[in-house]
Structure 1
Amino acid sequence: MKVHKVVLLLGLFLFTGFLRGQTESTDVLEAYIKTDGAWIVKLPKVQYSVSTVEECAVKCNKETSFTCRSFLYIEKDQDCVTLPANSKTDQILRRMSAVLYEKKEYLLECVNGIGMDYRGTKSKTKSGKTCQRWEGTFPHTPNITPKTHPKADLESNFCRNPDGDKGGPWCYTTDPEKRWEHCNIQDCTEECIQCSGENYRGKISTTMSGFTCQRWDSQKPHNHGYIPSALPDKYLEENYCRNPDGEPRPWCFTTSPSKRWESCSIPRCTTEPPTIVPELTCASGEGSSYRGTIAVTVSGKTCQDWASQSPQKHSRTSENYPCKGLDKNYCRNPDNERSPWCYTTDPDTRWEYCSVPSCGDQPRPEEPVIPEGEACYEGDGTSYRGAMSETISGKKCQFWTSMEPHRHSKTPQNFPKADLRRNLCRNPDGDRAPWCYTTDPTVRWEYCNIERCDNKPSSREPPTNPSVAAASPSISSSPSPEKDCKVGNGASYRGPTSTTITGVTCQEWSSMTPHQHASFTPETHPDKGLESNQCRNPDSDVNGPWCYTTDRNKKWDYCQIPDCDSLKCGQPSVKPKRCFGRIVGGCISKPHSWPWQISLRTRTKIHFCGGTLIDAQWVLTAAHCLERSESPSAYKIFLGVHTERANEASKQERDVTKIIKGPAGTDIALLKLDRPALLTDKVLPACLPEKDYIVPSNTECYVTGWGETQGTGGEGFLKETGFPVIENKVCNRASFLNGRVKEHEMCAGNIEGGTDSCQGDSGGPLVCYAQSTFVLQGVTSWGLGCANAMKPGVYTRVSKFIDWIERNMKEN
């Protein structure tokens, strides 16, 4: 019989004493994980009024009404809510300005020592038996209960070690023949991986051959696109081994110039991998849980057995991907593709997607045509169907079908009429504006970077002297004094607006009527412009200026302040469609929505290549476009045109006076125009990137051109398409471009083919969108055919040539 061991009460006492010591530490928040914009509705709860978040943490640590696992803090309201719940036990909801702090010890799913401090949610024993609830009396009457051990967290049926058992956490079982049994929970000090190590968060930083790992935030000795700040959900910390891209196991770039990357030798865990709920007849999201028996591709080809290496040799085996259900020849998604797929038995077709039905009313997430981009939203944005996928602070949106890094219920199945496709900004629940969950684990959601249609600035003035200096967009710290507008998040806003977004008059910052507050006053923030009742942003809220209101039922609200942005490089007046799908199979652009696109022509005015205006008098293109003649007089440049016929009134013609080709072995060239272009809303430069900047993997970028469409339509009009950047490490795999891509080049495209840049697009721009600006990251260079599966396009990486561009423009 499992009995209480009195001798170990001392251990429990020491442990609780240790927790008290934590409470009294100077940095009380170290024991918590913070998530912005998250909210838990749970009873019981206790609400306090506090001045700081640290005070709220102390309240949680000293809570006596229940075991406090998390707390909510609302700075503007000075509210503190302590809770017995956390994200592992209860649903997380969205709430503006709320911040959720969760105790780390209750999120940990491993044990330290004998596990007396284990507070995880494992509820099965070593032999797979389900645990009995601690307060239950069937099938076993326990002698250790929540009442006898109130500090041991004996809630639900989770494995615990209330009596200091040397074997670790245990539980009473639901098997009448087995009173109790230990649980198989991983040791926190054990370095091991589950499945393919996608969730490995250990600290091993040496490869299987003994190479030291390169830091993820470093670009030396190897350039790469796995940028920690751009991929926060991949936990690319220090130089620790990780698996951000579906390899069989964690890996890293090495500090050896001769070895770009290598897998790390980390053993597999002995504990059970995470369980999934198998989907047998349909697939949700990307289909990682699909375990049905469909074994035929979309074109009717039979799938090859995963265990077979004929006719396709591959590494997607059950040994390398042990948790992915790679049985027989059934369609599966072991490596985060967009839907289930398989290798085929056709020697000429390596792999294809499968026709697995989607669970729910929505079609598969990337199969429909993405709607045309919209420049603004009407009303509350419920009807917005544009292509924005970036939040107001520049964070990338999480896919609606994904549960990583944030679990949620806003799925296409639950909201079939909300158009929740890909990671596009939407408003499925009638909020005040379009929003999305973010890919940053610490920020649950934010509103999107979209203007309301009735608040758009009426006009924009072009800069007087646009130049390469504007290539890396920066935001001025102070707006023009005569304009009532904000720059960035409006922290510097000092304008006269003093009403909220709903038209309510603002309360004076120094007043405590009708709302008491102490966090934001002229005394606490003397440099924030809080002298009267004007809208301000003293806490740098990403959503912009706000104020306390004179409405007794609404403590505070945001103000509607327009942006001060004028016409700049990379910011077209006509918002592009941002059509996903590529030029071959892409869509016709809105006229003049890509105003930096030029047409490179022969003296007889026949279009043959593209290019990008980067300054009023300079164009960037591909060197291979200039092979027909070394003489500048052989070429003409057309700007401000949408059709290949170029009969628009906005057309500007320029001769070429100088050709400057890039270093040997590179496909880039500068063309100097005979006179500067007249910059208008139809002729505008693209911004240049920062020197040596590497575009993060999976960044959505866009290509434009008048090139060959291979019968997909749109001939004679400028076409566009969007697709993700593919990290060179992936692009150089044997099944893709097999090592052909060089460091000064980059890949972009859809692995399955079907759309691509093609002949006639060469030299044109690959631009990527960030912080409301399109930045020229690539020059269309080469590819193996057009729109072929497994053969993405290759682009000259512009950031590697910034010094060369600036030097030649200055000297010529």
Structure 2
Amino acid sequence: MEIWETTLLFCAVLVTMTGVVMMDEVSSDSTVSDADKNIHSNLRNLVEHYIKILQEKIQTGISTVSSICIKEEILKLLESEQILVNKFEAAVKDLRYECTAPPPSVEHAFFVVTHTSDNQQVATYTCDAGYTYGGGKKEVWCNRDLGRWDYATFQCVECFTSRDTYRGKKSITQGGIRCQRWDSQSPHQHSLGSKDLIENNIVLTEDYCRITKKIVEPWCFTTDSKMEWDFCGIAKCNRRVENDCGLPQPLTNAKPNYIYTSNGATVRYSCLQLSGSTQNSYCPVSTCMNTGWTAASISCGRNDCVRNSQEYTGKRNCTISGRACQAWILREPNDHRYKAENFPDGSLSEAGNYCRDPNKSGSLWCLTTDSRYRYEPCDVPSCDLFP
């Protein structure tokens, strides 16, 4: 009997076809049950088992072939063997699982989930305003063999700028001593008052570390009678504020949040409550420029909050730092692979340049019109925050 007519080869081809079919099923449905994982694991073992037996049988057939067998037939045999082996290895390689759970959370940081060219999920972390990188890997990858995210080592530490702008709530010195309240004269007496603190209210400052005019990094009086004051060990932010525009402009039904970004001073507005009506502008960001604050307005209509990021069809079209979003139908300045089916709008054109969640990351984001910043999250409030 010819080696290519063996029952083993028929079974091997059948397993190959089964592996490819199951591979397609896995790739079309990212939700994989524990039972399915066991089936795929058994299939993987079965494929590897047949690869080994098949190679042994083929090599045996080659070694015992008649001397009258021509060289071309042997080469054809080897080529056919390699084709089957490649199919088996491809089936095993592609039996991978998407991570359906969100990436691990990191304190004082946000993440954006994207896909690499080979469809590998990766979460990239960025520190919130007022915090700076404190160590660890900035990216966390989806372990497709296990169907879960790797461990997050990214860390953010509190930081301050070179100006009197620190509003943090740390109240322990770098030596581990509790801070004295600023409105207290015990155990250390001082002459500082409300005008010396950023809140302009010494009671509201409580016992938080602060920057004052004569000391240019966060410090406080201590509750240790033997040590009058000490620094709080807070790192300096890797940010530079070029302008001081004073207090930000007030908006009806919205509260300003004074923050710092890599671009300088920025005000991000948040709605106090939602109404049935909407406004025209959906980018609640104002930036401090040489000429003062840029114009800002915010929609506090009911469609300007998010319940499910994958179903959001609002028209917020700027990022958390105020950068304009790139239209999804465009591939420049930042290329992407998203298609109409990734959006609740039904088409790339209808998705406009609005914040969306096409990769099911669990949060809204967009590509930016700045080639230096491929993507950033969008600051759309949760509908649960409002009545």
Q: Which protein has the bigger helix share?
A: 2
Higher RCO, 1 or 2 (CA under 8 Å, sep at least 6)?
2
TM-score (norm 2): 0.31
